[in-house]
Amino acid sequence: MSLGRADVLRHAMGKKKKKLMETLRPEFFAGCGQNEIDQHATQELWELIDQFAEYGFNKSHAAGYALIAFQTAYLKAHYPAEFLAATMTVRGESTDELVRFLADCSKMGVRVLPPDVNESEEDFTVTDAGAVRFGLAAIKNVGKPAIQAILGARDLQGKFIDLADLASRVDSPLVNRRVLENLIRAGATDSLEGHRGQKLHLLDQAISYAQQAKQERSMNQVNLFADNEGLNLPRTILPDVSDLPSNEKLANEKELLGFYSSGHPLHDFQHEIEALSNCTIQELEQWESDKQLQLVGIITTINRVNTHKGEFMGRGRFEDLSGAIRFIIFPKSYEEYSGLLKIGAPVLARGKVQKRENAVELILESVEDLKSATSRLTKRITINIDNALSAKTVLELENEFRRHPGNANVWFQYYDGERKLYSLCCKKYKIDPDHEFIDQIETLLGEGTVKITK
């Protein structure tokens, strides 16, 4: 074979192009014959090439990989927090990978702390208690110069007390209004006085204070009765306003950090997840392509796409508590379920996985609002009770049953004095196990006392 044709064969091996290799096989055998290589040796050589094309590399490469695999496995086993902090610093720009590493932290029992202007460095760090602390660089639209200005001011004069203190001690062209707002919305100022709603309301006042403080410093106006910085300025007072709603906080965190730091929209739906999901996103790499799946989760992005036939389909990202995955919904399903493809709304998704080389995608076939799916699919509600409920608690339970009529059977479970388990079916009521009902029952009887099953 010529060098050019040999390079084509090399490319076919490297890219695992079996059909191209088969077309080159006669040429390879003919060339070996012309070079007086016997057919048996040619066949052995081709089989080695064919085997190598499946997956292979030279021994030095394999040895290098083995050494790195050993080192990373050792670090992950013995220094999990440090290993994960370093990995997220290097790979944290990818939201998909960040979500996966955060799921690893949860699985390995490593606590993850949000970014904090009083505690964070630029990158991910490990605290004395062994938790991973988000770095300020993880916050979108803040920037390295602003981060360095904040860290420099903190190193010079200590931790910040309130928003006005932060604004007055940093370089205002670098840490401007937009940066301060993003720090508040991301939760990075939660250690300062006041809640996020108060700080956003106070933002312009804090910036005005910072500008006046800078003027006083430049004029060297020091007053014996001024604050501890020697400034003759009244400090800002926290306004009497409400905090941001939980869903707005979470949306801000997702936008600016790529993940939810103060909670997750699905945390309140553990009962529904356990009852209705038959897998998690983290398990989909091992999921069989033709096997039907059900996932409780939320859509975090959705884009409408035109097909060459002029139809509409959708592409986006779907997320559960274990991770995130890209999804496709084809025209027929998109037309039927487009009204339910809303960002942030909990849904029950059905479909299959599609595997392409190193990527796994979710093919959405149907989507159902989680509340209606729970009501429709739940056949039984099991409530664990104490065998000595008070008359008041029994009355409150019955009131909740009346308020949530539905189709699911109610069963009570309790242990007698000898720890023997009894199950009793409630003949009088059937229930709609919506989220409010579960919350009310667990408020009465304790967390974890309710279980729903299909």
Domain annotation covers residue 433: yes
Domain annotation covers residue 23: yes
pLDDT digits (tens, 9 = 90+) for 22-48: 888 999 999 999 888 988 999 999 988
Are residues 271 and 353 both part of a single domain? Answer: yes
Domain boundary among 327, 348, 370: 370
Q: Where do runs of H (alpha helix) occur along 79-143?
A: 80-91, 95-108
Two tokens, residue 391: 């008359």
Query: In the prediction, which pLDDT does 106 show?
Result: 84
DSSP string, 33-48: HHTT--HHHHHHHHHH
pTM over 0.95: no
Note down the domain range covering 284: 267-370
Are residues 232 and 301 both part of a single domain? Answer: no
Q: Is the dihedral of CA 96, 337, 352, 303 positive or negative?
A: negative
DSSP string, 279-336: --GGGGGGS-TTS-EEEEEEEEEEEEEE-TTS-EEEEEEEEETTEEEEEEE-HHHHHH
Confidence of residue 224 (pLDDT cuts 50, 70, 90): very low
Confidence of residue 225 (pLDDT cuts 50, 70, 90): very low
Confidence of residue 231 (pLDDT cuts 50, 70, 90): low
d(CA 438, CA 431): 11
Are residues 240 and 328 both part of a single domain? Answer: no
CATH number at residue 448: 3.40.1350
Domain annotation covers residue 94: no
Are residues 272 and 241 both part of a single domain? Answer: no
Residue 229 scores a pLDDT above 60: no
Average pLDDT for residues 208-233, to the nearest whole number?
65
What 3-state class would DSSP assign to 407? strand
Are residues 121 and 237 both part of a single domain? Answer: yes
Are residues 310 and 347 both part of a single domain? Answer: yes
Task: Fill in the DSSP letter of residue 339.
Answer: G
d(CA 35, CA 41): 12
Q: Maximum distance among all alpha carbons in the chain? A: 101
Confidence of residue 233 (pLDDT cuts 50, 70, 90): low
Are residues 231 and 248 both part of a single domain? Answer: yes
Domain annotation covers residue 216: yes
Q: Which pairing describes strands 450-453 and 359-369: parallel, antiparallel, or unpaired? A: unpaired
Segment (H or E) for 13: helix 3-14
Confidence of residue 21 (pLDDT cuts 50, 70, 90): confident
**For residues 153 and 144, is the Cβ–Cβ distance under 8 A?**
no
Domain annotation covers residue 35: yes
Domain boundary among 370, 387, 404: 370
- Residue 317, Cβ density class (10 Å: 0-12 exposed, 13-18 middle, ≥19 buried): buried
What 3-state class would DSSP assign to 450? strand
pLDDT digits (tens, 9 = 90+) for 167-179: 999 987 889 999 9
Domain annotation covers residue 95: no
What 3-state class would DSSP assign to 130? coil
Instruction: Count the domains in the chain.
Output: 4
d(CA 448, CA 243): 29
Residue 423 scores a pLDDT above 60: yes
Query: In the prediction, which pLDDT does 210 show?
Result: 86
CATH number at residue 290: 2.40.50.140
Percentage of the chain lying above the pLDDT 90 cut = 57
Are residues 116 and 132 both part of a single domain? Answer: yes
Domain annotation covers residue 151: yes
Residue 357 scores a pLDDT above 90: no
Query: In the prediction, which pLDDT does 127 show?
Result: 95
> CA 125 → CA 99, 115, 117, distances in Å?
17, 10, 13
Are residues 239 and 146 both part of a single domain? Answer: yes
> CA 52 → CA 18, 22, 61, 109, distances in Å?
12, 14, 14, 40
Are residues 423 and 364 both part of a single domain? Answer: no
Query: In the prediction, which pLDDT does 232 show?
Result: 52
Average pLDDT for residues 258-263, to the nearest whole number?
84
Residue 206: name the closest of 243, 177, 163 by CA.
Answer: 163
